């Protein structure tokens, strides 16, 4: 699970910070979206541990 988040974060950083068309607003929206995805993944993994 942690490895998946790490790989996703690496791909996300590479995608966002190496694209010339990205401006601050797009970066902010993408980072907020990515953070929400991480929160969902963490909550899902916690709920799976309870079973």
Residues 37 and 41: their CA atoms lie apart, in Å, by 6
Domain boundaries, the chain: 2-49
Alpha helices in 1-23 (DSSP H): 2-17
Specify the DSSP class assigned to residue 21: T
Residue 19 tokens read as 């694209």
**Across the chain, how many H-helices and E-strands are there?**
2, 0
pLDDT given for residue 12 in this prediction: 75
Length of the chain equals 51
pLDDT digits (tens, 9 = 90+) for 3-39: 877 777 777 777 766 666 556 677 777 788 888 888 8
Of 41 and 15, which is predicted with more confidence?
41
| Residue pointed to by tokens 């079973």 | 51
pLDDT band at 1 (very low <50, low <70, confident <90, very high): low
pTM above 0.75, yes or no: no
Residue 44 has pLDDT above 60, yes or no: yes
């Amino acid at each position: 699970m942690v490895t998946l988040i790490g790989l996703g974060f690496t791909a996300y950083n590479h995608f966002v910070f190496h694209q010339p068309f990205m401006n601050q607003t797009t970066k902010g929206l993408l980072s907020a979206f990515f953070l929400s995805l991480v929160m969902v993944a963490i909550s899902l993994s916690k709920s799976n541990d309870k079973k």
